[in-house]
Amino acid sequence: MPSDVPRGALFVRDGDHFVPTDRARGPWAYDTLHGSPVAALIAFCVEQRLLEMSGRAQQAPEVAGELRIARQTIDLFRPVPYGHLSVEVEPIREGRRIAVFRSQLSRDGKLLTQATTLCLRADEQLGSVGADHAVEPPPPPDEAIPNRVDRVGNRWVSYPGTLEMRHIVPPGGERAPLVWFRNDARVVDEVPLSPAVRAAGIADFVSPFANMQPGRSGYVNADITLHLHRPPVGEWHFLRVVSRGAADGVATAQAVLGDRSGAYGGSSAASLINL
């Protein structure tokens, strides 16, 4: 990654709060965050809760041990400002095979974003049943076109500018976009990036890539949904837009997410026209 790209985590801890760094800013307004760091932060907090459950499993057999994120849906009904943020993770269901959490992100007691995360127990011995329609990996990133968005965004550092992107099919054209990502930004410095958090950090791009017009993104998404059927592997991840529809100022889009081995899940978003 070029030396002029800011390094470090997306957030720093201040007691029970998370304080964004410049890497978490969005490109649209200096004092608001990009959706991807918000999604990564919520996935991070849920995984911390799963670790707590795993530690209790031996003392309480009814508490799950090996659970992983299978689906996360985030409602982005307010802009998330740059400031001290709190995330509360409330268990709706904690079982041996399934756990569901409701997360609320707020600032100064004002609810900004909420999410529901579904976690399922995985067992390698169970394998897969049924036909496999997984998407094969695209040409590797070293064969793609290096393409970095403007690293200073709208005159400031923003999250898209801290990612390394390589385009197989660039957004904004006639063909469905297909882009490789590499992201080195931990949520907080002391905890390495997990596979699910890496995926959460790119899932939001389904909306701008699907809805991008030449020179701009025509829609702003109001949600992010991430599905994972297996943990991602490695640093490079691809996002392939597979469908997009729009009418009356509302757009929906779906994408396949994968790594060098192929698809590991997908993401989707519903968006409002941004005039």
pLDDT of 180-224, one tens digit each? Answer: 999 888 999 989 999 999 999 999 999 999 998 776 667 999 999
Residue 235 has pLDDT above 50, yes or no: yes
Least-confidence region, from 2-6, 49-53, 161-165: 2-6
pLDDT category of residue 61 using cuts at 50, 70 and 90: very low
Predicted confidence at residue 74, as pLDDT, reads 97
pLDDT of 248: 95
- Report the chain's terminal Cα–Cα distance, integer Å: 33
Tell me what the mean pLDDT of segment 46-64 comes to.
68
pLDDT in tens, 146-186: 765 544 445 678 898 888 899 999 888 889 999 999 988 89
Given a contact cutoff of 8 angstroms between Cβ atoms, the answer to whether 233 and 240 are in contact is: no
What's the mean per-residue pLDDT of the chain?
88
pLDDT score of 216: 65
Query: Which pLDDT score, from 0 to 100, does residue 12 have?
Result: 95
pLDDT value at 57 more than 60: no
Identify the weakest region by mean pLDDT among 5-14, 92-101, 231-240: 5-14
Q: 98, 47 in Cβ contact below 8 A?
A: no
Strand 178-182 and strand 164-169: the pairing is antiparallel
Closest by Cα among 34, 81, 22 to 200: 34
Check whether 254 has a pLDDT greater than 90. yes
Query: pLDDT band at residue 66, thresholds of 50, 70 and 90?
Result: confident
Indicate the length of the chain as a whole number: 275
Instruction: Specify the amino acid at residue 105.
Output: L
Distances (CA, A) of 81 to 19, 76, 172: 10, 12, 28
| Predicted local distance difference test score (pLDDT) of residue 2 | 43
Which pLDDT score, from 0 to 100, does residue 154 have?
A: 56
Question: Using CA atoms, how far apart are residues 49 and 190, in angstroms rounded to an integer?
Answer: 16
Q: Which of 58-67, 117-126, 238-247 has the lowest mean pLDDT?
A: 58-67
Q: Check pLDDT > 80 for residue 90.
A: yes
The pLDDT score that the predictor gives to residue 152 is 44
Q: Can you say whether residue 177 is alpha, beta or left, with left for phi > 0 and alpha for psi between -120 and 50 degrees?
A: beta
29-53: burial string, b at 16+ Cβ within 10 Å, e else: eeebbbbbbbbbbbbbbbbebbeeb
